[in-house]
Amino acid sequence: MTDRNVIAIVLNAHLPFARNYSADFSFEELPFFATVSETLLPLLEMFDRLEAGKIPFRLGLAISPVLCHLLTDELSINHYLDYVDRQIAFGAEELERTKNDPAMHNLAKYYYDNAIEKRVSFTERYDKNIPRVLSRYQKKGRIELLASTATNCFLPFYMDHFEVIRAQIETALASYKKFFKTKPEGLWLPELGYHPKLSAYLNIYNFRYTVIDTHSALLANPPPKYGCFFPLKTKRGVNLLVKDFYAYRDIMDRDRGLPVESTFRDFFHDAADDLPLERIKLFLGEDGIRLSTGYKYFSIGDSEGPRRLYDPALAAEKARKYAGVFLERRISALNRASELMRKSMDGDAVNICAWNADFLGRFWHEGPIFLETVFREGCQKNEIKFMTPSEYLSSQAEASFQIIRPEYSSSGFNGYAESWIDASNDSFYRHLFHAAERMAELAERFRNETGIKERALNQAAREILLALSSDWQRLLSAQNNISLPKWKNYAKNELESHLKNFTTIYEALGSSYLSTRFLTDIERRNNIFPNINYSVFRRK
């Protein structure tokens, strides 16, 4: 027992496997660059400041194997640094262009200085290795790193394919051990996709807990006594922490969330959208597409009013104010839950605040300021305490957790599977299921292979894992109304490419002819999970 209500903030950091194997970066790598500069580096810098100020912060962070790989991949790192160098060069040009406009000039300098600072932080302070810094903070007990599946696979679709679930989890565990030198206690289910049968897998792999969506608990059998404010448990003994819908909505809701404030920066409007082509030559794609410069000069503004220049100081002040509002809402909700729980003395109420990490910084520029203020102000309030998920579970009597059967659920549109299967993408699933069965067949047929056959089988496993990522279906989905046609084309091409690569290997193994040139090429392009063993797909 902690004698205080608990707030557990859990962030999920993941990006699709977008790796452009060429000398130049491309548009599909821009989310990775922005996530590094505007989410991950600000988070690490926040950790440094809070630790220096002796602020007792705690944070749960689920960081996917795909993102960990990109963060340590030499090609991706070089492309990121090239992008930041172009931002710096572009900033120097912008400083000259805006010298007669003080307000715009100050904004250009804000972004120019920020680009220089991020380059120094990444290369010198953190030595180009963000996972290693995160591991260091985990060892100190400041953060807890949750595992995720190998490639963000929406697991409920594959309940009849044991080999897929096994490969996704075991490959992820091997990746986690490689980057963080330990075993995770929690598993972040991609898209919070829960199916009642998943409890068996979580139990088999000794995961202590997972996080489920709000309605998964509220529609459970039996209904939870304390809603989302106290842990639950499956019959197999897996602890369930329930995401608070209102805490999620406060940040992530596009219409009612706190970030929908006219003074905050407009993520969707970039300098590249307005300047003539000759001024953005550094940010033109191969096909002439305007790539984001990261210089965003306007605030969200009012829907009917004129565009207003972004004011970083004013926006930061508003973010700090909203941190106080957010804390008061969480404390109020926790107090109501505690009143109910005191009668039974089951334990301490907890508020699970689970968000996508890249929303704090990449999409909501002021998000890291908001989060730091939440920690600074929250640690001064006697009625609450910040804890990591495992730290909180260890402080409670797990025998008091109510046993339930959670409902099938996800964090997607309408809470089920609509974000990953509709008329725009459903045609791919029969190919994915068929390919997964073929991969299991290969793993059974070819046992203890060496040399080029082993390489081919391992690459086949990589291609299947990448094809199984829910990222492609999400980008293709009709529900994804902000996905540009170029992104939909990219997702379709990636999905088809991974399936085609797998089929080529499968047929080559059947005919006993393997092209070393082809295999070497796709090994270099899709180089994730370098130590994978294809036997993870065996039917056992």
CATH for 25: 3.20.110.10
Per-residue model confidence (pLDDT) at position 539:
87
pTM of the full structure: 0.96
More confident residue, 18 or 255: 18
Measuring CA to CA, which residue among 135, 121, 106 is closest to residue 49? 121
Between the alpha carbon of residue 269 and those of residues 5, 87, 191, 265, 310, the distances in Å are 40, 16, 27, 9, 11
Per-residue model confidence (pLDDT) at position 189:
98
Measuring CA to CA, which residue among 360, 351, 396 is closest to residue 3? 396
Measuring CA to CA, which residue among 364, 273, 360, 260 is closest to residue 302? 260
- Is 408 in the same domain as 426? no
Per-residue model confidence (pLDDT) at position 481:
52
Contacts of 297 (CB under 8 A, 6+ apart): 104, 107, 269, 271, 309, 310
Number of domains in the chain: 2
Between the alpha carbon of residue 485 and those of residues 19, 31, 222, 312, 478, the distances in Å are 19, 16, 44, 32, 11
**The domain spanning residue 486 has which CATH number?**
1.20.1430.10
Q: What is the pLDDT of residues 399-448, one digit of tens each?
A: 999 999 999 999 988 889 988 998 888 999 999 999 999 999 999 999 98
Residue 432 placed within a domain: yes
Residue 120 placed within a domain: yes
The residue segments making up the domain with residue 376 are: 5-149+189-412
2: pLDDT confidence band, cut at 50, 70 and 90?
A: low
Q: How many CB atoms sit inside 10 A of residue 241's CB?
A: 24
What integer is the mean pLDDT of 85-112? Answer: 97
- Is 367 in the same domain as 389? yes
Tell me what the pLDDT averaged over the chain comes to.
94
Per-residue model confidence (pLDDT) at position 63:
97
Per-residue model confidence (pLDDT) at position 233:
97
Answer with the one of 352, 383, 412 that is the final residue of a domain: 412
Q: Judge whether residue 95 has pLDDT over 60.
A: yes
Q: What is the pLDDT of residues 267-301, one digit of tens each?
A: 999 999 999 999 999 999 877 889 999 999 999 98
- Is 380 in the same domain as 522? no
Measuring CA to CA, which residue among 358, 387, 147 is closest to residue 252? 358
Residue 346 placed within a domain: yes
In angstroms and rounded to an integer, the radius of gyration of the C-alpha atoms of the chain is 24
Answer with the one of 412, 445, 472 that is the final residue of a domain: 412
Question: Which conformational region is residue 206 in: left (phi greater than 0), alpha (psi within -120 to 50 degrees), or beta?
Answer: left
Residue 13 placed within a domain: yes
Residue 283 placed within a domain: yes
- Is 363 in the same domain as 407? yes
Q: What is the pLDDT of residues 110-161, one digit of tens each?
A: 999 999 999 999 999 999 999 999 999 999 999 999 999 999 999 999 999 9
Per-residue model confidence (pLDDT) at position 287:
78
- Residues forming beta bridges with residue 148, ordered by sequence position: 188
Q: Judge whether residue 317 has pLDDT over 70.
A: yes
Q: Judge whether residue 528 has pLDDT over 70.
A: yes
Tabulate helix, strand, coil % of the chain (nearest 5): 55, 10, 35
Q: Judge whether residue 83 has pLDDT over 90.
A: yes
Answer with the one of 358, 385, 412 that is the final residue of a domain: 412
Residue 532's identity, in one-letter code, is I
Q: Judge whether residue 303 has pLDDT over 70.
A: no
237: pLDDT confidence band, cut at 50, 70 and 90?
A: very high
Q: Judge whether residue 178 has pLDDT over 80.
A: yes
% of the chain residues with pLDDT over 90:
85
CA dist 270 and 248 (Å) reads 27
Per-residue model confidence (pLDDT) at position 307:
84
Give yes or no for a contact between 13 and 64, defined as CB atoms under 8 angstroms apart.
yes
Per-residue model confidence (pLDDT) at position 510:
86
Pick from 22-26, 358-362, 477-481: least confident: 477-481
- Is 236 in the same domain as 313? yes
Residue 122 placed within a domain: yes
Per-residue model confidence (pLDDT) at position 514:
85
Q: Are strands 59-63 and 5-13 parallel, antiparallel or unpaired?
A: parallel
**Residue 10 dihedral angles phi and psi, to the nearest 5°:** -125, 120
3-state secondary structure of 353: strand
468: pLDDT confidence band, cut at 50, 70 and 90?
A: very high
Residue 177 placed within a domain: no
482: pLDDT confidence band, cut at 50, 70 and 90?
A: low
Q: What is the pLDDT of residues 181-202, one digit of tens each?
A: 999 999 999 999 999 999 999 9
% of the chain residues with pLDDT over 70:
97
Give yes or no for a contact between 146 and 60, defined as CB atoms under 8 angstroms apart.
yes
3-state secondary structure of 285: coil
Per-residue model confidence (pLDDT) at position 424:
86
- Is 241 in the same domain as 319? yes
What integer is the mean pLDDT of 296-312? Answer: 86
Q: How many CB atoms sit inside 10 A of residue 386's CB?
A: 20
Q: What is the pLDDT of residues 58-80, one digit of tens each?
A: 999 999 999 999 999 999 999 99
- Is 396 in the same domain as 491? no
Q: What is the pLDDT of residues 352-373, one digit of tens each?
A: 999 999 999 999 999 999 999 9
- Is 297 in the same domain as 438? no
Per-residue model confidence (pLDDT) at position 25:
82
Per-residue model confidence (pLDDT) at position 342:
75
Residue 516 placed within a domain: yes
Per-residue model confidence (pLDDT) at position 480:
65
CA dist 535 and 460 (Å) reads 11
What integer is the mean pLDDT of 388-398? Answer: 96
